[in-house]
Structure 1
């Protein structure tokens, strides 16, 4: 899946001349933590984070008067506090590659640029929503089972075929690979599925030799 399918496209932006006082108000009102800075043609010039605004704001224990504080803030603009060196990605960047980039760079968002212009932004919230979707955990009518499988070819397809044969409809599959002491490589397969009688389906899986490490039935 590509970034363009999960990125936020309605991005609040500002220009370099936007005053600091206005920046702070916008970020607070819209409850956002990152704001791209663009020029009149939509080209990305920099980015401002909530932390940048906090750092540029006078301390609560300042000895300056209210008038002096307001004057200083009125002199600061987006250009004065923005980061000019911005890590970006393109709409056709793979979601997992974008996530790795954000983790490696320890950044909270990735502006998405196409032909030099900002077309969206990828945030940690976007990635979290993507993770929730691929795990299927929002499907309240689905059962969840975790099964230990040998790490060899064909065992996963056999399991999924068995689920289908028993009347289950697979919603999502996750297969993390891990090394277990004394066991070697194995896979713990997490499957969410729908079925008329999930309790009976789980029992039949066990009868066929599958080890259910955990099993959760739908809510209600």
Structure 2
């Protein structure tokens, strides 16, 4: 049985709850991620900041505020004021199917993976897309191995 540990990303980018929204925005942009786990000074998982949370905290572009002013505003807001603390989490041993069902039914983009209070990974919808692509590649490779060189299928004629 596959577990969350088998698919989760362990090389995690996380920030502290005392860091600013500007630091979070820059980290998300540089790493091209939409979910940022938040930990306290001891490394315990305390919440999650999403790209959507950042957008909700930003001043509308319609307000005619320049980028420097927006960055100044973000620089003065600590993450703990905007992050979500009541977040669904997974354990490394959670069956992968259960994790997928939570992501799908709850429409979550990720599940932080926590063990003994410490953040050990993150499981995202992108991880499942990557798994799906790998499985499709394996199925296609298996189909080609099963092919006996008949003239009836398109794969044999290519």
**1:194 maps to what in 2?**
145
Match status 1:87 vs 2:37: no
**1:120 maps to what in 2?**
121
Q: Counterparts of 2:6 and 2:26 in 1: how far apart (Å)? A: 30
Structure 2: unaligned runs, 5 residues or longer: none
The structure with the greater share of residues assigned to strand is: 1
Greater Cα radius of gyration, structure 1 or 2: 1
Contact 1:140 1:219 in 2 (8 A): no
SS at match of 1:198: coil
Deviations 1:79-123 (A, max 9, x none): 111001010011111111100011121100000011111100000
**1:36 maps to what in 2?**
37
Contact 1:141 1:218 in 2 (8 A): no
Deviations 1:42-85 (A, max 9, x none): 21100011111111111112144666534322221111110010
Contact 1:12 1:36 in 2 (8 A): yes
**1:217 maps to what in 2?**
155
**2:137 maps to what in 1?**
138
**1:27 maps to what in 2?**
28
**1:58 maps to what in 2?**
59
The structure with the greater share of residues assigned to helix is: 2
Could you state the TM-score of these two structures normalised by the residue count of structure 2? 0.87
> Cα RMSD over matched residues?
2.4
**1:157 maps to what in 2?**
none
Q: Counterparts of 2:154 and 2:17 in 1: how far apart (Å)? A: 52
Deviations 1:23-47 (A, max 9, x none): 1111011100100000122211000
Q: Counterparts of 1:109 and 1:70 in 2: how far apart (Å)? A: 26
List structure 1 runs of 4+ shifted beyond 3 angstroms.
Answer: 63-71
Note closer, same or farther for the CA distance 1:45–1:219 as it changes in structure 2 (3 Å cut): farther
Could you state the TM-score of these two structures normalised by the residue count of structure 1? 0.64
